[in-house]
Chains A and B, each alone.
Chain A
């Protein structure tokens, strides 16, 4: 019941934490999609198999590094570059990095796995490589890329909670403060809100994924 009281009296603050959280996700994942899809297209090119392997491996290692450790490693790096090492910027950078693997890998795999017969047909009809990429490969890859984006966003909602340790604002704030001051109402409020947020966004993106699937590919 304390939780209820807490939410009741702090809904404006909770709302602003939620907005901060979403803003962080929106900014970082926009960059992540842009970078991940471009890089994914690049490494899926002919004769880049070795580059692709290395890039994907690096992105895979990236994912295994605990977020708290990555934040810690980013701080001195950013201050060495005279950039703010606390707050929004390091959080966005870390989230972009964590968002890479799912988007990059899915883009790469989806493009590589387009049925060769289709590419052959496209080439045989006189499509340029660019037209084959834009009219065949990418449209066919969209649902898979969307699934990667959804995965990335869900992961990042979780990591954005932890970004509160390096001074980013979001729904991690009440959890962190609650843990330090043993305020159960704050902990539960933060945990419940961020969980519901993650589930909601996941559900919405699942719908978007369906919507973005070209009609002929739906089962």
Chain B
């Protein structure tokens, strides 16, 4: 979708801001350009819509060299959102969102419909907000309208320059989550500039890490954490990269699928036998097919001696929903002081079991510099 080929930027004063970068962004992918300030990430992004002219090399959009396109037409085909938002204060939310549609001469009805749809998408009630002016909005709302505006004419590509940079951490976290959901629906090809490693890992399908105008590593975030190419990447990613990778991985990826289960009316003797045979101290109790009911451990089984599972089990159990990050699951385990955590779906159906041992070995893996792998890393 977007292909950069040996792209260079040299300013008239001789500064080499970008020193020959080559990489490709696939359709529907969110590619984060990451790096410390002055690394050339924003310059690279702005060369894509030619806000900054390219000195050397080529950028192809869907196979067409972007220098062969009219620059204004080019920009109207790409959404553009910046940290300062830059909402026009003399225009209503409606007019702001309809900026590019207006440039493209859409009809009023089309613009109205588009603005309302986008506000809905952003989780803002159109009736309440469409006639408001930017000064009447909170910081988070402005940021949302800014993103809505960049989606105005439904461009296939979006360029976002630290779009959540100017808001408080809590709101930023929420906006990131919301935006990921939206991206799931709209599947745009996105170039996302940030200096925040956590944001990059959270948002990116791919991360391009830049340093002094050079592309140091271009990979999926998990690989960036697990297999940093060199010292710079390692330092930039930070010493807590294991924790970061736990944040990135889901319980689904680390759990044992279809663990052994028992039912409430099973007698304890047979359960004790299963435990001995399997060599486990912990079993999950389910009912009605596969609904999670609780758990039972070896000590309780042996103490009770006889009876049913229902008499010795623990009913009030912690569980992690599928999709929860490993970091959150780990927090629960540490807080509740449990070594096992059942994983369920939204309807409380048992999906798997996460054990502290599995987590530990995973952490151990990422600590070995060379070989950390996890299921999603393909390369």
Closest beta carbon of chain A to B337's beta carbon, Å: 50
Could you say which residues of chain B place their CB within 8 Å of the CB of A123?
51, 75
> Counting CB contacts under 8 A, is A179 at the interface?
no
Q: In the complex, what distance in Å separates the CA atom of A217 from the CA atom of B135?
A: 8
In the complex where A124-B75, A124-B159, A127-B103 touch, is A216 in contact with B85 (Cβ < 8 A)?
no
Q: In the assembled complex, which residues on chain A have CB atoms less than 8 Å from the CB atom of B134? A: 216
Report chain A residues within 8 Å CB of B89. 118, 140, 214, 216-217
User: Hey, what's the 0/1 contact readout for B113-132 against A, CB within 8 Å counting as 1?
Assistant: 00000000000000000000
CB of A121 within 8 Å of the partner chain: yes
Chain A contact residues, majority secondary structure: helix
Q: Is the CB of A216 within 8 A of B72?
A: no
Q: Mark B38-74, 1 if CB is under 8 A from A, else 0.
A: 0000000000010100000000000000000001111
Interface-lining segment among B76-84, B275-283, B295-303: B76-84
- The verdict on B207 contacting chain A, using a C-beta distance below 8 Å, is no
The reply to whether the CB of B88 lies closer than 8 angstroms to some CB of chain A is yes
Beta-carbon contacts under 8 Å, A89-133 to B: 115, 117-128, 131
A170 vs B86: C-alpha distance in the bound complex, in angstroms? 49
Q: Is the CB of A120 within 8 A of B73?
A: no
B80 and A139 form a contact (CB under 8 A): no
A215 at the interface (CB under 8 A from B): yes
**Per a CB cutoff under 8 Å, which of B80, B87, B90, B92 touches A217?**
B90
Query: In the complex, which of the residues A126, A139, A215, A216 has the most CB atoms of chain B within 10 Å of its own CB atom?
Result: A126
In angstroms, how far is the closest chain A Cβ from the Cβ of B193?
A: 12
Asked whether B215 is an interface residue with its Cβ less than 8 Å from the other chain, the reply is no
Q: CA of A195 to CA of B159 in the docked complex: distance in angstroms?
A: 58
A residues in contact with B86, CB < 8 Å:
115, 117-122
Residues 144-188 (chain B) with a chain A CB within 8 angstroms: 149-150, 152, 159
Q: Is the CB of B72 within 8 A of A127?
A: yes
Shortest distance between the CB of A114 and any CB in chain B (Å): 10
Interface string of A179-219 (1 = CB under 8 A from B): 00000000000000000000000000000000000111100
Does B91 belong to the interface (CB within 8 Å)? yes
B82 and A126 contact, CB distance less than 8 A: no
> Chain A 35-52, CB within 8 Å of chain B: the 1/0 string?
000000000000000000
A residues less than 8 Å from B90 (CB atoms) = 139-140, 214-217
Contact A128 B72 (CB under 8 A): yes
Which residues of A123-153 are within 8 A (CB) of B?
A: 123-128, 131, 135-136, 139-140
Roughly how many angstroms separate A118 CA and B86 CA in the complex, as a whole number? 4
What are the residues of chain A within 8 A of B325 when measuring CB–CB? none
| Interface contact A124-B72, CB-CB below 8 Å | no
B51 contacts A216, CB within 8 Å?
Answer: no
Contacting residues, chain B, for A120 (C-beta < 8 A)? 51, 82, 84, 86
Q: How far, in angstroms, from A217 to B91 measured CA to CA in the complex?
A: 9
Given A119, A126, A135, which contacts B75 in the complex, CB threshold below 8 Å?
Answer: A126
Give Cα A136–Cα B92 distance, bound, in whole angstroms: 13
B76, closest chain A residue (CB): A126
CB-CB under 8 A from B4, the residues of chain A are none
In the complex, chain B residues whose CB is within 8 Å of the CB of A140:
88-90
Nearest-Cβ distance from residue B332 to partner chain A, whole angstroms: 42
B85 to chain A, nearest CB (A): 7
Q: Which residues of B contact A119 (CB under 8 A)?
A: 86
With the chains together, A41 CA to B241 CA distance in Å?
53
Least Cβ distance of A133 to chain B in Å?
13
Asked if residues B88 and A136 are in contact (CB atoms below 8 Å), the reply is yes
Query: A215 is contacted by which of B49, B84, B133, B150 (Cβ under 8 Å)?
Result: B133
CB 8 Å contact bits of A149-191 with B (1 = contact, 0 = none): 0000000000000000000000000000000000000000000
Question: CB < 8 Å: which of B76, B92, B159 contacts A216?
Answer: B92
> Chain A residues with Cβ under 8 A from B133's Cβ?
215-216
In the complex the two chains form, is B80's CB within 8 Å of A124's CB? Answer: yes
Q: Could you list which residues of chain B lie within 8 angstroms of chain A, going by C-beta atoms?
A: 49, 51, 71-77, 80, 82, 84-92, 99-100, 103, 133-135, 149-150, 152, 159
Beyond A120-B84, A123-B51, A125-B103, 18 additional contacts (C-beta under 8 Å) are: A117-B84, A120-B86, A121-B85, A124-B82, A125-B152, A126-B71, A126-B74, A126-B77, A127-B103, A131-B103, A135-B88, A136-B88, A140-B88, A215-B92, A215-B133, A216-B89, A216-B133, A217-B135
10 cross-chain pairs, A with B, having the tightest CB-CB distances, nearest first: A121-B86, A216-B133, A126-B75, A124-B80, A117-B84, A214-B90, A126-B76, A117-B86, A126-B72, A118-B86
Complex A-B: 21 CB contacts under 8 Å: A117-B84, A118-B88, A119-B86, A121-B84, A121-B85, A122-B99, A123-B51, A123-B75, A124-B49, A124-B51, A125-B99, A125-B103, A126-B71, A126-B72, A126-B100, A127-B72, A127-B103, A139-B90, A140-B88, A216-B89, A216-B90
